Amino acid sequence: MSVDEIIWILRHEFGDAGSDLDYRNPFELLVAVTLSAQTTDAMVNVVTKPLFEAYPDAFALSQALESDVAQIINKIGLYRNKSKFIIAASKILVDKYDGEVPKTRKALMELPGVGRKTANVVLAVGYGIPAIAVDTHVERVAKRLKLAKPDDSVLAVEQKLMRKIKREDWADAHHLLLLFGRYISKANIKTDAFELLEKLKEKHEL
């Protein structure tokens, strides 16, 4: 099964895949993705609503007290560290970028709490700049679908996906593979991933 066919099948299942995180601009997306580590998107959405009401932009969040931010986001895991990260990142956004979120992976990864995956999500989802973010779901299904080797690192998986998937499909492919891993080819599901895709073909009469 070609990678184009995999994407085609998943598009029929998930439609126009988008982020499950609630955000209105790149700053809110950056904060939400930073908070999403080891936390469900649904729970992140619960805490970002009051967070963004209190601190609508980098200028406001850069002036916040850690204790105040921690109180708002304390329903999510690692909330104390994440409070430090998003305040420190906001200070850099204000000092270096006039409060705007930068548009390069290198600049994004210099922000506290921002790794390669978060940077790629912000680029692809926030700015429409082609990138493939590899989280645990994407990594797992990429290996199950033989798009990467079982012992490949996250970076190796990203690089192989970028080689095998058309550049214009990168951002979409990230979401489709993520949703396939989150809802269908889950970690505890032992059914062959190609079998699962064949079932989706039957479901959608493809």
Residues acting as catalytic residues: 117, 135
Amino acid at 29: L
Q: Quick one: which of 133, 137, 135 has its CA closest to 186?
A: 137
d(CA 77, CA 38): 7
Q: In degrees to the nearest 10, what's the CA dihedral of 69, 78, 90, 30?
A: -120
CB-CB neighbours of 97 under 10 Å: 14
* Cβ atoms of residues 133 and 147 within 8 Å: no
The residue length of the chain stands at 206
Opening angle at CA 184, ends 22 and 2, nearest 5: 100
